[in-house]
Structure 1
Amino acid sequence: MEFRIFYALLPLLIITGGTAFAQESLLSVETDDNNYDEGDTIVIFGNVNTVIGDTPVLIQIVNEGAIVEIAQITVGQDGTFTKIIIAEGGVWKKGGDYTIRAFYQEHIAESEFTFTPKSQMTETTTNFEVDAGSKGTFDVEYTIKGGTVKNIVVDSEIFALIVQIDAIDEGTITLDLPREFIGAEKQDGKDDTFIILIDGIEVAYQESVVGSDSRVITINFEQGDSDIEIIGTYVVPEFSTIAVMILIIGIMATIVMTRNKIQIKI
């Protein structure tokens, strides 16, 4: 009895399976390349085996669940369709694998490609001129990948340089910090570690070069980060806050000692 049921259902399974495969082959979608850089032209093309009136093909380009592009494409009388998209602007910011999904009534087809934004293609290395107040200016050489540097300012109250960035993707920034203007030192004059805060949260950093004139550090950041605080024990040491406090304490101590001497003589 069980064998009879199996053989009775077998033709249905074959028909169902054949229909599924036929449906998959009714629609196809491809691109003219497998890898694109920001600014490239993406040519999307495909074919519909059975044209259904004026029904268009709906195209979605998806990255990690987010829709990057969406379009309707007119199908030609021969069943072909083509769409040209420029990979830039909008949400074309994140590198990785992208999926093209084509919809034609109940039929779905997919294709994949890899996208690389400009932030991942090149690194920017240049100098930034930092305002040092009455000391003029000084240069900080940096290399950034994944964003751009908007500004670098001195915060003398916390002995820090604040690097303001536009992080369009996760990346890194390497800074060559001149000892003359910023440093982190122990009481014995030996190097101490910097405190690095990104938008108020402490993060780790790597130090690659320790020279007599500068220290080179590298900091990783995430997409959307903005302020990187590099806190040391001094910044632009021209009567810094600590020096002023020490001077005031010294003056006050001298005054007190002088008064005591005068009282003793009287």
Structure 2
Amino acid sequence: MNFVKTKIIFALLILGMISTLPAFAESLITIKTNSNSYKEGDTVVISGKVTTIIIGTPITMQIFSQGNLVDVAQFNVAEDGSYSYTIIAEGPYWTKSGEYVVRASFGEGNVAETQFSFSPKSEVVDTDIFEVDAGSHGTFDVNYSISGGVVKNMLVDKDILALIVIIETDDDGSITLEMPRSAFDAKKQDQTDDTFIIIIDGIEVPYQETVTNTDSRIITINFEEGDSDIEIIGTTIIPEFGTIAVMILAVGIITTIIITRNRFQIHI
């Protein structure tokens, strides 16, 4: 019986020791930043304190973005156990917006972490012009700007009344298109503006319409890394397509009516 009690007490002591270890590790080093969010070019000040100074042991500081290392440094603590590290949030590795993780390591197994949000400056994107081939109906120009990829081609699919934009992406991004109404549009029956249908690689996605005037419509479409085909479906594309189709249909109907009437009159 005493042997069983001894085993129970020993097990409880072990559990107690294990439960206190994380608390000790967490309290050995602290970390904080001077702000919870930064923009590109801001000064990031990381500071903290260690409760026990280990002679000859530096602090290793690492900053991560989506698991990728952005910055690393080593430095010694002050005599009172405090430390501070300053970095300017800019450079080739400060490109992703979102949460950044700061990790401070001191000695073996002593780690503290904190987070902050970062927003890079809006990239200045040049506007280009793509000359879209409309077959026998000539060409029309689409002004566009894109970030996160490049435009490989734009083409017309008259069967579905769509402008198809083929892109090659290296990151999440967006494309803004200024589409001339004379070549491509989406209209309701009362001739007021209708919404476009946007499909990326078979999936319908939302879009933002920023400018609308009598000559053009400007829309912005967000895409993800790996996307390739953007279908912008409207109700008219190259008026000649629609006009010819309507004319052919009208001529066909009229011809049918005339033939029917003539036959009817002959039988009479």
Tell me the TM-score normalised to structure 2 length.
0.60
For 2:9, the equivalent position in structure 1 comes to: none
In structure 1, the gaps of 5 or more residues are 1-15
C-alpha contact (below 8 Å) 1:126/1:142 kept by paired residues: yes
Task: State the match for 1:239 in structure 2.
Answer: 241
Instruction: Extract unaligned runs of 5+ from structure 2.
Output: 1-20
Partner of 1:258: 259
- SS of alignment partner, residue 248 of structure 2: helix
Report the AA paired with residue 200 of structure 2. Answer: I
1:221 maps onto 2:222 in alignment = yes
SS at match of 2:29: helix
Q: Partner amino acid for 2:54?
A: T
Tell me, in whole angstroms, the C-alpha distance in 2 between the residues paired with 1:21 and 1:202: 47
Distance 1:20 1:108, change over 3 A: closer
* Rounded Cα–Cα distance in structure 2 between residues aligned with 1:203 and 1:21: 45
SS at match of 1:251: helix
List per-residue Cα deviations over 1:95-120 (Å, max 9, x = no partner): 133123133412224465654457x4
Q: What CA distance in whole angstroms lies between the structure 2 residues aligned with 1:200 and 1:159?
A: 16
Q: What is the TM-score of this pair, normalised by structure 1?
A: 0.60
Residue identity (%): 40
The reply to whether residue 106 of structure 1 matches residue 109 of structure 2 is yes
How far 1:61 moved relative to its partner? 3.3
CA RMSD after TM alignment: 5.0
Q: How many residues align?
A: 234
Question: What amino acid maps onto 1:164 in structure 2?
Answer: I
Give the secondary-structure state (helix, strand or coil) at the position aligned to 2:69.
strand
The amino acid of 2:67's aligned partner reads I
Kindly state the Cα deviation for residue 152 of structure 1 after the two structures are TM-superposed: 2.5
Match of 2:161 in 1: 159
- Per the TM alignment, residue 261 of structure 1 is displaced from its structure 2 partner at its CA by 2.5
| Distance across 1 between alignment mates of 2:69 and 2:96 | 13
Local SS of the residue matching 2:148: strand
Separation in structure 1 between the aligned mates of residue 125 and residue 222 of structure 2, nearest angstrom: 14
Q: 1:29 to 1:255 in 2, by over 3 A?
A: closer
